[in-house]
Structure 1
Amino acid sequence: MIVTNYGQIGGDRGQGTVWPGTEKEGRIAEYINRGGWFFGGIVPADSSNSSSNAGLDTLVSEGTAAWSVVDFPEMFPHYPDERSAIQVRSRDPNSPFFSPDAVSDEDFISVYTDTFNVSGNFPFVPPKHRRPLGIEVVEKSYQFSDSFAADLVFFDLVIRNVGQNHIRNFYVGLFVDDDIGCLFSNTFTDREDAVGFMRVNAFGDTVNTAWILNTDGDEGCVAGTVGLRILRPTRRIAFNWWSSDVDVFSRDDWGPTTPDVYTGRPNTDDPVGSPVYDSEKYRLLSNGSIDYPQFDLQKNEFDPRIPPGFPNDPSRFLLSAGPLGTRDSTISDPSDEMFGQTVKMFAPGDSVQFTLAIIGGEGDSSKAKTQGTFDPHAFVDLGRNSVIASSLFDTPGVDTDGDGFAGRDVDGDGIPDRGDGVPDFKGPEPPPSPRLTVFQQNRQVTLDWSAADPQRPGYDATDPTQPFNHINPFLSDDPATEFDERLDFEGFRVLRSESGEPGTFEVLAEFDLPHNDFGRNTGLSFRYDDHASDGSVFYYAVVSFSRGEPEIGLESRQSSPFSNLTRVVVSSQPSTGFTQKIWVEPNPYMEGQGLESTLGRGTALDFVNVPTRCTIRIFTPDGDHVQTLVHDDPHSSRARWDLRNKGGRRVAPGLYIFSVEIPAGERREGRFLVLR
């Protein structure tokens, strides 16, 4: 996809949005010829224009024009510094554009404004272009290499008011001239395109996605579809399409007039056809209409409400949302045209945000060619990918900013269906690791995670920290089945490492759900025994892994071993008496090299081969009592100390004496050294 630093996507005839592609050699499938941002708002009238006696002006600044031949774009880079060029960043450490600030595998960042006066260099500029809204746009586009996100491109805009006017009821939209077909082929034409709007996908998810298709599939070359979804803001979305006559100066264009879905306003004053003037473009940006589809996907025919002749004209559309602003204001001046209305105010110096995803829906070229149309399954894929786009942008159930809110539960099932309003741009999380208990007895290490067993008495089926309850918001639930397909847990893996370092773990065992087409169908277990020789040191972990959804490229994901990683020093069978020499590990203790249950800076040491019930007292060489530990564990011959004294403070470096006493009164002594 071509992106620019002047508010346009696509190249206007030639590889604008070339995706999802075709398998036919030498043929390139184009789904969007060109598109561009529309920014519209209401400002005080220009007092320098003596011919105007109106109090307010309606202005729309365009990244690309609705009619590229007779109209003119208004967004341009004009900085003398590096912001005039498109910046490239990547999160891939092997990329020459690697940056720790990157969001995706391919970030493009550009800055442009509508304040660059180009009219002196272009004599054919309508007068309206000489008055900008006064905005600066920072556009960031993101594309991810993850297979589940391969059909998504995100556009994240930050729009700043750099002018002197308060802009009222500011709207943002993307205008699209689709022109779908196989480029550089004899079959290419823009007369078979159709657009529409998908409110709900095949699984009942609300997706509010505009779509584009080629009605005959162009001999299988364009079997799929492309959609656009506004991800931020979502409170008032409008979708308006029109057919444009091939005669540039003709007013014989046509488009439906659809009532405002939010207020019921009939919108009878909407432009019928291509919007030419700013007032007409603003009407489409702000009218709240969701036009009916040009093409009936079930009947495989154009809508009969379209006048004869117009279905074969090139189609264009505008997808928009708003109003955006930083505060609400009720107009109290009786002389103001908007007196009594409550408007969104976009003040000078303030910024607003707008995010949109362009989404691919893959179709089967062979099926489309055989049927002589597009592949209907492409719309199933589009609906799924729209859910993925929304979840990738703002993942439901994730409290990104840590304020305690993880998203709204729309359907009342206890599971957040919406994000917290703070963008994530991150893929799905694996199911959480189970709570793990590790104990050893007579050279046998036992790992127990039965707390994760859903058959255990008292198990909480609503606890999101339990692996079995893991909901993957990137998946859709099929309402026709009893099972919730969003539940994405498949099994456990038992891991062991000699060092505990990343990349050093071996899989001792794997247990997964039976009776499905994933994994080995071993059935689940919640306990594992490992045998090792005396003195062996191992790091153990039990991780959870998901099933994923291979059909949409969502791979199985595994939780981190470091969430329940446990270090074990294998020793002989615990005893109630003094059967072996007692020592301290490590000795000497050095800062950062002690023992912990997880990796990190060591802050503890162990007394090894202590009886199962004993009292450990620690002293300085002068006899000052430092700490007392009570050990009572029939399964363990080790007692851990966190190096804190009776007052809770870290002990000072030096030599220490310890004594170990059993209930019968027998005692053993030793010493150890603490270094910093």
Structure 2
Amino acid sequence: MSICWRRRGWKTFALDLLSSLIFAGLLVPPTVRCRERQNNLPPQHYSDTGTSYRDLVRQSALSSQRIASPGERPVPQYLYSVHNQGNLQMTITNWGQFGVITERGVPDPVTGEVVNGLVYPRNIGVSYFNGDIAVGAIAGTDTLVTTWEEFSPDVAPFGEFQMASIDANRSFFSRDAHSIFDLTCTYFDTLKDTPFVPINRFDNRFHKPLGLRVIQRSMAWSGPNLDDFIIINYELGNTGLHFLHDVYVRFDEESFIYDLILDSLGSQLVGFLPDWHITLECGVPDTVNVAYVTSYTGFLHDFLDDWDTRSPRAAVGIQVLGMPADSLRLNYNWYAPSFGGFGTDTAATWGPRRRGTVEDPFRQIGESWGRPEGDANEYYVMAHPEFDYDQMYAAVDFSSRGWLPPSVIGWLTSLIPFGIDAKASLSFGPIDLPPRASTEFTIAVVGGDSVHVHPNDFLDRWDIEYPDAYYHSLDFSRLAENARWAKWVYDNPGFDTDGDGYRGKFRICNGDTFWYEGDGVPDFRADVPPLAPKVHVLTRE
């Protein structure tokens, strides 16, 4: 990274020097840097032993394309696929992850084009984060959580993705499709032992299944206003014998701005955007509710005088579009791990925590204030009402508002706001799930470009103790607009889906009716450009 003395002298130099050390990896333990170079993957993809669990998954997947012979142990059919239809390109798995970076990328099943990670805008070669689903519940006397590592698809050939499209010209056209490209798969949490499910090292036991079945259906469109998001619908079923009480669902974002072309990590910030200051027609406020990841400077590796075509100026995040009716709240939490990444020492992890009260005592969730350790603590964080402030404000003392002070580890306090990796989570619940019952919920992975407006904003405005000036230089208007379109595709405003006479919320102004919210019943319907007609050429003999 270039060191410049312009604009604000020693302060600029200090910021550049600190950023240079981060980018160069000089603040990362040497063993971790070796892991980072191994297989060209970001460091958080590795377990404590330095072995990638996803590598084990891929190795087992090589043999999962065939049906096991008599006497052989059946192998889950672990598979990757991709969404490559619009401006947002994303890998997706049949075990609960999306945006995963693999060693060689994943070919588009239709075009053959290779996609890797979660790239936005299209073909920029920069991935923002990988996401996953986790589910926690009380089953009998146990408090249990199932994470993505503990989900598995069925054996071959039943674990395959099912493709469908509204385009009649495609071989997988279906009248039941919702989008240009639907991908549907099913996975379970019923496997308990290695090598397919890792040992729970915090609880020191094998995985205890909740008896879950997840039917995952991801949908992508192309065309104006429709190609900056991917919608994922989940049907969560209880296949076990226990009544699952107080179920909470969590979606994680493991953030890293990753240069897929130069094979290097950038720096990033996580945050939550509840709304945006632009209102819709008739003065309706535009709610957003996106847990986002963005670069902390808008640059990949160097402070330049201007943006280039690969500058990560966007924000990409997760938006909860629909929760079960009995879900009462949405929580947002994040923590920053030690420089070893997500799979290493937890003692140095830190995240915002509320101060304990008589009614709500403080709970120690592990060795540190950041990462929850063990199923009971993971469930506590999912279920405990808390909405964290943004990573950018990690060095600001919010004690007067009921928060614990910033990290007591001085160097960590100074570096967290500078864009070190963070893991953010959106959780909602509680939901009761009797045996053989199911419930549905939906998210969107949504992107918005040009969040970083001026190349000099970070150098000119950033102050670790007073980050407001820099935050207000960011422009989330495109992210807000694309999130609005995702909501409208999920639930069309002014359309009575279930025929009960209710069409949603509206306002009347200047003699016109403006519908701004749907009837609460999902539609998954978009006004796409007319598709080419299917033509059969008949030859006359």
Q: For structure 2, list consecutive stretches of 5 or more residues without a partner in the other structure.
A: 1-89, 104-115, 279-284, 301-306, 398-404, 460-469, 531-541
| C-alpha displacement of 1:409 | 5.5
Look up the match of 2:167: 92
Contact 1:211–1:227, Cα closer than 8 Å, also in 2 = yes
SS at match of 2:476: helix
Q: TM-score, normalised by structure 1?
A: 0.51
Q: Which position in structure 2 is the counterpart of 1:292?
A: 389
CA distance, structure 1, for counterparts of residue 451 and residue 210 of structure 2: 45
* Contact kept in structure 2, 1:224 and 1:361, CA below 8 Å: yes
Larger mean Cα displacement after TM superposition, 347-356 or 281-290: 281-290
Which residue is 2:145 aligned to?
60
SS in structure 1 of the partner of residue 93 of structure 2: coil
Kindly tell me: are residues 16 and 368 of structure 1, through their superposed partners in 2, closer, same or farther at Cα, counting changes over 3 Å? farther
**8 Å CA contact 1:113, 1:137 repeated in 2:** yes
Q: Judging changes above 3 Å, is the alpha-carbon distance between structure 1 residues 100 and 124 closer, same or farther for their aligned structure 2 residues?
A: same
Is the contact between residue 78 and residue 116 of structure 1 (CA under 8 Å) also seen in structure 2? no
| 1:174–1:123 CA distance, 2 compared to 1 (3 A) | closer
Deviation at 1:200, TM superposition (A): 1.2
Matches within 5 A, 1:198-237: 198-203=273-278, 204-219=285-300, 220=307, 221-233=311-323, 235-237=328-330
**What is the alpha-carbon distance in structure 1 between the residues aligned to residue 355 and residue 274 of structure 2?**
16
- TM-score normalized with structure 2 length: 0.63
Q: Flag the 1:267–1:400 CA change in 2: closer, same or farther, 3 A.
A: farther
Q: 1:151 to 1:350 in 2, by over 3 A?
A: same
Per the TM alignment, residue 407 of structure 1 is displaced from its structure 2 partner at its CA by 2.0
**Greater shift after overlay, 133-142 or 9-18?**
9-18
1:257 is matched with which residue?
353
Is it true that 1:173 corresponds to 2:258 in the alignment?
Answer: no
Supply the distance in 1 between the matched residues of 2:494 and 2:355 (Cα, whole angstroms): 35
Residue range with higher mean Cα deviation, 374-383 or 384-393: 374-383
Which amino acid counterpart does residue 215 of structure 1 have in structure 2? Y
Pair 236,410 (structure 1): closer, same or farther in 2 beyond 3 Å:
farther
Q: Is residue 2:107 matched to residue 1:31?
A: no
Deviation string 1:99-152 (CA, Å, 9 cap, x unpaired) is: 211110111101000002343667855454431011000000011113201110
CA distance in 2, matches of 1:265, 1:250: 25
Q: Measure the CA separation in 1 of the matches of 2:378 and 2:448.
A: 29
1:246 matches 2:339: yes
Q: Give the aligned partner of residue 84 of structure 2.
A: none
398-407 vs 411-420, greater mean Cα deviation: 411-420
Contact 1:115/1:134 (<8 A) preserved: yes
- Tell me which moved more, 3-12 or 306-315: 306-315
Q: What is residue 4 of structure 1 aligned with on the other side?
A: 93
The AA in structure 2 aligned to 1:35 is: G
**Matched ranges for 1:605-616 at <5 A:** none
Task: Give the SS at the match of 1:94.
Answer: coil
The residue matched to 2:376 in structure 1 has which SS? helix
CA distance in 2: counterparts of 1:269 and 1:407, whole angstroms: 44
Match of 1:158 in 2: 235
Matched residues in 2 for 1:408 and 1:130: separation? 45
TM-aligned CA distance change 1:128 to 1:286, over 3 Å: farther
Q: How many corresponding residue pairs?
A: 376
What is the alpha-carbon root mean square deviation over aligned residues? 3.2
Partner Cα distance (2:167, 2:241) in 1: 41
Equivalent pair of 2:346/2:371 in contact (CA under 8 Å): no
Structure 1 residue 208 displacement after superposition:
1.6
Structure 1 equivalent of residue 74 of structure 2: none
Alpha-carbon distance in 2 for matches of 1:395, 1:31: 29
What amino acid maps onto 2:333 in structure 1? N
Match of 1:385 in 2: 482
Task: Return closer, same or farther for 1:135/1:364 CA change in 2, 3 Å cut-off.
Answer: closer
Is the contact made by 1:293 and 1:303 (CA closer than 8 Å) also made in structure 2? no
Paired with 2:441 and 2:337, the residues of 1 have a C-alpha distance of 28
Which residue is 1:103 aligned to?
Answer: 178
Aligned to 2:438: 351
Rounded to whole Å, the distance in 2 between the matches of 1:404 and 1:112 is 37
Pick closer, same or farther for the CA change 1:85–1:292 going to 2, 3 Å. same
Residue deviations 1:21-70, cap 9 Å, x none? 46xxxx611111x22101110011xxxxxxxxxxx21111011xxxxxxx
Which residue in 2 is equivalent to 1:363? Answer: 450
Counterpart for residue 183 of structure 1 = 260
Partner Cα distance (1:353, 1:259) in 2: 34
What is the letter of the counterpart of residue 289 of structure 2? N
Q: Does 1:149 align with 2:245?
A: no
Instruction: Indicate conservation of the 8 Å contact 2:315/2:479, yes or no.
Output: yes
Task: Report if aligned partners of 1:224, 1:378 keep a CA contact under 8 Å in 2.
Answer: no
Number of the residue aligned with 1:309: 411
Q: 1:20: which partner in 2?
A: 121
Change (3 A) 1:80 1:30: closer
3-state SS in 2 of match to 1:180 = strand
SS of equivalent residue, structure 1 residue 385: helix
CA contact (8 A) 1:179 1:189 kept: yes
For 2:216, which of 122, 131, 139 is the aligned residue? 139
Alignment CA distance shift 1:35-1:121 (3 Å): closer
Q: Which amino acid aligns with 1:74?
A: E
Structure 2 CA distance for aligned equivalents of residues 183 and 372 of structure 1: 24
* Pairs within 5 Å for 1:571-610: none
Deviation at 1:11, TM superposition (A): 2.1
Q: 2:261 & 2:395 partners in 1: Cα distance? A: 26
Report the AA paired with residue 315 of structure 1: A
> Contact between 1:91 and 1:105, CA under 8 Å: does it hold in 2?
yes
Question: Which one scores higher on RCO, CA 8 angstroms, separation ≥ 6?
Answer: 2
2:506 is the alignment partner of 1:419: no
Q: 1:237 to 1:96 in 2, by over 3 A?
A: same
Which structure features the higher share of helix residues? Answer: 2
Residue matched to 2:427? 320
In 1, distance between residues paired with 2:134 and 2:273?
A: 22
| Residue pair 1:182, 1:218 contacting (<8 A) in 2 also | no
| AA aligned opposite 2:423 | R
Aligned equivalents of 2:198, 2:518: Cα separation in 1: 49
- SS of 1:279's equivalent in the other structure is helix
Distance in 2 between the 1:208 and 1:258 partners? 21
Query: d(CA) in 2 for partners of 1:223 and 1:382?
Result: 12
- 1-structure distance, mates of 2:422, 2:396: 14
The separation in 1 between residues aligned to 2:361 and 2:289, in whole angstroms, is: 21
- 1-side partners of 2:121 and 2:381: how far apart? 29
Is 2:498 the counterpart of 1:401? yes
Q: Structure 1's 269 and 419: CA in aligned 2 closer, same or farther, altered over 3 A? A: farther
2:253 and 2:222 map into 1 onto residues whose CA distance is 25
Q: 1:452-463 maps to which residues of 2 (within 5 A)? A: none
The CA deviation at 1:180 is 1.3
**Secondary structure, in 3 states, of the residue corresponding to 1:99?**
coil
* Runs of 5+ unmatched residues, structure 1: 45-55, 64-72, 326-345, 429-553, 558-676
Evaluate the alpha carbon distance shift between residue 121 and residue 160 of structure 1 in structure 2; reply closer, same or farther with a 3 A threshold: closer
Structure 2 CA distance for partners of 1:364 and 1:257, relative to 1, 3 Å = closer
1:218 Cα offset (Å): 2.0
Q: Is the 8 A contact 1:182 1:222 kept in 2?
A: no
The answer as to whether partners of 1:225 and 1:362 remain within 8 angstroms in 2 is yes
- Distance change in 2, residues 1:302/1:359 (3 Å): farther
Output one character per residue of 1:291-348: Cα deviation in whole Å (capped at 9) or x when no partner.
101126xxxx9656643433153111111111123xxxxxxxxxxxxxxxxxxxx100
Is contact 1:181–1:214 with CA below 8 Å preserved after alignment?
no
